[in-house]
């Protein structure tokens, strides 16, 4: 068993605040949260420790779950600390990208469920009542979008935002075959104002990375096939970017990095468990 894993196994037995264990040129620094002030937050301790490693070259933070990594990512973003989130997250879980693929599935597969998922998304900016009305009149909505056929239901809609949104879908449906894949993605992002509704820095970055990814596809069908087979990974696009690597302990044991922080911050754990932060260099 490696030195790293031996230390991980024994860490819950520590009863002092800081302990240094030296091995060759490196060390492990352990900080047990139970020994610190009650008001001390594990993430504030992490930020304080990170300060000495700027510009964060070859530094990683390892956590047990993707949820913890997402919390750390938000923390680093708030502090303007560069990071690369490698949490094996499915591309369909990224805000904005999921909605884009729902529209693509409707355009290519004529999938009605995907269409109404798109209509129900934040991009439509419609209230629950408006969406319920559209669902109850699904046949008339599909007739209007698929065949541009006016009907009494469409004329009865009082909220003009509904009609405007449906007309945008009609316009994309009529013209999408005239676009190259990446140009179509750009047109969808622009027409439906994705960046107004998914405006957080990480959301904008992910949407832009997705846009870049689509440049390698010759057809929307190929893009959808890779999406359905879960072959699209945004993390691959970030390989040239610099920042703190955020990974789960299942994906990395930290030995490939010069400096690694490992966090255990289990809010649901038993009271006898010890939350800790340790640093390996």
pLDDT at 2: 43
CA angle at residue 276 from 273 to 277, to 5 degrees? 165
pLDDT at 188: 97
pLDDT at 203: 87
> Consecutive sets of 10 residues in the chain, 281 residues long: mean pLDDT of each?
42 37 49 60 80 81 81 86 73 91 97 97 95 95 88 89 96 96 96 93 87 92 92 57 77 70 60 50 59
- Hey, which residues does 260 pair with through a beta bridge? 60, 280
pLDDT at 238: 43
pLDDT at 280: 60
- Cα 156 to chain center, whole Å? 39
The residue among 60, 18, 32 whose CA lies nearest residue 255 is 60
CA atoms of 240 and 118, how far apart (whole Å): 33
Report whether 261 contacts 60 (CB < 8 A). Answer: yes
pLDDT at 54: 81
pLDDT at 79: 86
- Cα 52 to chain center, whole Å? 28
CA atoms of 251 and 261, how far apart (whole Å): 14
pLDDT at 24: 43
- Main-chain dihedrals φ then ψ at residue 59, nearest 5 degrees: -115, 140
Domains of the chain, each with CATH number or no CATH: 3-90+242-280 (no CATH), 91-229 (1.10.486.10)
Report whether 94 contacts 76 (CB < 8 A). Answer: no
CA atoms of 163 and 169, how far apart (whole Å): 10
pLDDT at 23: 39
pLDDT at 113: 96
């Amino acid at each position: 068993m490696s030195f790293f894993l031996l230390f991980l196994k024994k860490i819950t037995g520590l009863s002092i605040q800081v302990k240094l264990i030296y091995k060759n040129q490196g060390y492990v620094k352990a900080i047990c949260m139970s020994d610190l002030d009650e008001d001390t937050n594990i993430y504030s301790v992490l930020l304080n420790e990170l300060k000495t490693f700027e510009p964060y070259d070859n530094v990683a933070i390892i956590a047990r779950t993707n949820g913890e990594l997402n919390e750390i990512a938000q923390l680093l973003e708030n502090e303007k600390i560069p990071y690369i989130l490698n949490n094996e997250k499915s591309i369909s879980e990224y805000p904005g990208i999921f909605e884009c693929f729902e529209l693509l599935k409707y355009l290519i597969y004529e999938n009605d469920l995907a269409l109404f998922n798109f209509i129900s998304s934040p991009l439509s900016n419609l209230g629950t009542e408006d969406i319920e009305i559209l669902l109850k009149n699904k046949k008339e909505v599909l007739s209007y979008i698929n065949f541009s056929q006016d009907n009494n239901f469409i004329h009865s809609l009082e909220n003009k935002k509904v009609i405007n949104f449906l007309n945008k879908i009609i316009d994309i449906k009529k013209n999408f075959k005239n676009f190259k894949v990446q140009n179509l993605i750009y047109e969808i992002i622009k027409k439906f104002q994705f960046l107004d509704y998914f405006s957080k820095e990480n959301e904008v970055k992910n949407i832009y990375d997705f846009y870049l990814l689509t440049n390698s596809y010759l057809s929307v069908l190929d893009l959808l096939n890779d999406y359905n087979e879960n072959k699209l990974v945004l993390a691959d696009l970030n390989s040239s970017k610099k920042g703190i690597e955020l990974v789960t302990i299942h994906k990395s044991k930290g030995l490939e990095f010069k400096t690694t922080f490992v966090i255990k911050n289990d809010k649901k754990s038993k009271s006898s468990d010890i939350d800790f932060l340790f640093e390996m260099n």
